[in-house]
Structure 1
Amino acid sequence: MSEVRVLVACGAGIATSTVVMKKIEDLFKTNNIPVQITQIKIAEAASKQDNADLLITTTMLPTEYKIPAVKAMAFLTGIGQEKVEAQILEEVAKIQSK
């Protein structure tokens, strides 16, 4: 199974993305999926997308991206977190089946 390259983005690339990054690490570890996570500001996503498979963000998306993007505010609120986790795992399955 190849490593999935994930960008985790928030507005400033510091606070909320740190919380989400830990939860993403746990999700991938629990599902035995090798992952490389890079924490970024959402403004950096467009320039970094060519070296990533998936974007997970806690902020509004300013543009469209070439890679799948998942809004993960649920990791901060706890509301609907299972649904977002399922969406992430679904995107990962698509990425790994290519």
Structure 2
Amino acid sequence: MPKVVVACGSGVATSQVVADKVRKMLAARGVDADVVAVEVADLPKALEDADAYVSVVKSEGEDYDVPVFNGVAFLTGMNVESELSRLILALGK
């Protein structure tokens, strides 16, 4: 099962909300994925076995070994369909 990591500053409120939305939107499209919310400090460890990263916070100059998606789109609904489609493609679905 693919793993999607969602991260914000504390890993509590915002990332949990976005992770829940991502989980529901993927499920509605028949994509089964393990969507986890973490705090930014735990990001390197969480990304070790991840297939995608949904970023709620701006990470300047960071380079990740997985595709990165705009978490604000999932939070606000702006451009969410575009980000969701990109995420689904990245997960190989």
**Which secondary structure does the structure 1 equivalent of 2:84 belong to?**
helix
Q: d(CA) in 1 for partners of 2:12 and 2:27?
A: 22
Using structure 1 for the length normalisation, give the TM-score.
0.82
Using structure 2 for the length normalisation, give the TM-score.
0.86
CA RMSD of aligned residues (A): 1.5
Unpaired runs of at least 5, structure 2: none
* Number of residue pairs aligned between Structure 1 and Structure 2: 92
Q: Is the counterpart of residue 60 in structure 1 residue 54 in structure 2?
A: no
Residues 52, 68 of structure 2: 8 Å contact kept: yes
Unpaired runs of at least 5, structure 1: none
Please list every run of at least 4 consecutive aligned residues from structure 1 whose deviation after the TM superposition is greater than 6 angstroms: none
Q: d(CA) in 2 for partners of 1:6 and 1:85?
A: 12
- Identity of paired residues, percent? 25
Q: What is aligned with 1:24? A: 22
